[in-house]
Amino acid sequence: MIRSANPDVIRPYLTDASNLTGGYASEVVFPENEKEVIQALDEACRTKTPVTIAGNGTGLVGARIPFGGIVLSTEKLGGLREIYQAEGDSGYAVTGPALTLKQLQDAVSTKELLYPPDPTEQNAFIGASIATNASGARTFKYGATRRWVRRLKVVLSTGDTLDLRRGEFVADEENSLFLKGSKNSFELKLPHYRMPEGKHSAGYYVSPGMSAIDLFIGSEGTLGVITEIEVGLIPKPQGFFSGVVFFDREENAWQLANQAREESLKNRTAGAKDQIDASAVEYFDSHALEILRSSYAQIPQKAQSAIFFEQEIQAGTGKHLAQQWLQLCKSYQALSDQSWFGQSPKEHAEFRMFRHAIPVLVNRILRQYRQTKIGTDFTVPRKHLFDLLELYRQKLKDSGLRYCIFGHIADNHLHVNLLPQNNEESVRGWQLYRQIARQIIAWGGTISAEHGVGKMRREYLSDMFGQSGLMEMSLVKKKLDPCLILGRGNIIPEEFLNG
């Protein structure tokens, strides 16, 4: 197995996109197959050496940053194995964990297929995107990564491999889950907490009658190493009608997004293919546009907010849909003449790039100030969306901190990014984050819809699930990772693992 204790080799594995600092490790190992993963975990188990699993380092919560022990890089565990066409023009792909989402999308696209989850960061590895249950703009139509994972192979620190197909190893009425590995069997008592409504990626997943596979999706490298993956694919849409619509008032963008969402849900249920049915509706506030102006001088001067939307089109539906979207824009006083619309793949790619540019630019600014990102990843139940928007506006304005708001408004999921310029602002930023998090939890929302908990959101998890929830999670971990070596510092606070 390739391994290195050279500090120059280790250094890149001490970072991710969170800008969290202080990580350290004694070695990086690069297993090239399942046997070598078992060997690496076996050695670590015997010496009680913590193992942090690394994907491609685009995570936002420091989950792949080690604080001691070794790093197990998944990058040599292989990428695409096979794409299968299935009935009804859909299909599935079998891959190793080290395929980027872009590579997967490009490969399936040549077979006229689409992998629906659409996290903005296409350099993420598929294995890690499952470990974080990533989601994205198209989650509004297609759900999060979880929905598309059909089968996983996972290596545990016990040396067991698990072959988990959705629908196999199902929790019983008592919330117990029985699992059979290649060497041992495991009987788990699942946590009793209730999951928040909507998008959610904080802590171990539980639901009545769940499949074992769901426990590993979103477990952030704390339970096992994902070595093989099967994901579902759908027929590639013939094209997209999409646009970036600008407004001179933020409220008008909120209202249009709300209306687009309601119509989409109604028309989708009715199967009305020539009516508004967005796959993505994304929001930008005035501060996000201000940051984007550094790269996009063509943003209209009067614009105070924007919505990016996309809708799949079938042959012959494009023109009719364009009229409906324009009508909708008119109803909410959009700056339609200065907005951008298009049906060509090039235009669609440009609009998507515009959406992707905002988190990239924010990260660039934070690197300049050498500050860690303070980014919310909260969702709330639908009935609280407008309360959330008002709360953000009020609290952020009062704080005097630099910030922007953008993201998945159709999923009630907006990212507030605070941009502290020094340590004092950072402290105030985190205080504000905590206040808002408390309100989100009181409304029945989640502290992490898609980025996970990692090392940077742990303290908020107890606000959500209580000490008993954390204890129940730690008992699950102790069964599957009895050496307690995997993903130390992620999700579960140390005090629940010691002793």
Ligand X SMILES: Cc1cc2nc3c(=O)[nH]c(=O)nc-3n(C[C@H](O)[C@H](O)[C@H](O)COP(=O)(O)OP(=O)(O)OC[C@H]3O[C@@H](n4cnc5c(N)ncnc54)[C@H](O)[C@@H]3O)c2cc1C
Q: Choose which of 261, 451, 457, 479 interacts with ligand X (CB under 6 A).
A: 451
Q: Choose which of 30, 115, 125, 496 interacts with ligand X (CB under 6 A).
A: 125
Which backbone phi and psi does 227 adopt, to 5 degrees?
Answer: -115, -20
| Structure-token pair, residue 251 | 């409220």
- Give the x/- contact pattern for ligand X in 7-36, rule: CB under 6 A: ---------xx-------------------
Strand partners, 211: 170
Told to check if 270 binds ligand X by CB under 6 A, we report no
Q: Which is nearer to ligand X, 102 or 192 (CB)?
A: 102
Q: Which is nearer to ligand X, 23 or 487 (CB)?
A: 487
Which of these ranges, 122-130, 177-185, 260-268, 281-289, lies near ligand X under the rule CB under 6 A?
A: 122-130
DSSP strand pairing (280-284 vs 305-313): antiparallel
Told to check if 116 binds ligand X by CB under 6 A, we report no
Told to check if 62 binds ligand X by CB under 6 A, we report no
Told to check if 485 binds ligand X by CB under 6 A, we report no
CB–CB of 123/100 below 8 Å?
A: yes
Q: Which is nearer to ligand X, 60 or 461 (CB)?
A: 60
Told to check if 131 binds ligand X by CB under 6 A, we report yes
Q: Which is nearer to ligand X, 51 or 464 (CB)?
A: 51
Size of the site for ligand X (CB under 6 A): 38
Which of these ranges, 55-63, 267-275, 364-372, 432-440, lies near ligand X under the rule CB under 6 A?
A: 55-63
Which of these ranges, 19-27, 220-228, 241-249, 435-443, lies near ligand X under the rule CB under 6 A?
A: 220-228
Which of these ranges, 129-137, 326-334, 366-374, 417-425, lies near ligand X under the rule CB under 6 A?
A: 129-137
Q: Which is nearer to ligand X, 59 or 203 (CB)?
A: 59
Strand partners, 165: 151
CB of 301 to ligand X, least distance (A): 27
d(Cα 382, Cα 380) in Å, to the nearest integer? 6
CB–CB of 235/112 below 8 Å?
A: yes
Q: Which is nearer to ligand X, 91 or 136 (CB)?
A: 136
Q: Provide CB contacts within 8 A for 368, sequence distance 6+.
A: none
Which of these ranges, 54-62, 303-311, 317-325, 345-353, lies near ligand X under the rule CB under 6 A?
A: 54-62
| Structure-token pair, residue 161 | 């491999």
Told to check if 53 binds ligand X by CB under 6 A, we report yes
Q: Which is nearer to ligand X, 50 or 334 (CB)?
A: 50
Told to check if 221 binds ligand X by CB under 6 A, we report yes
- Please state, as a whole number, how many other Cβ atoms lie within 10 Å of the Cβ of residue 74: 26
- Give the x/- contact pattern for ligand X in 404-443, rule: CB under 6 A: ----------------------------------------
| Structure-token pair, residue 69 | 């022990």
Told to check if 64 binds ligand X by CB under 6 A, we report yes
Interface ranges with ligand X (CB under 6 A): 16-17, 52-60, 63-64, 74, 97, 119-121, 124-125, 127-129, 131-132, 134-136, 220-221, 225-226, 359-360, 450-451, 487, 490
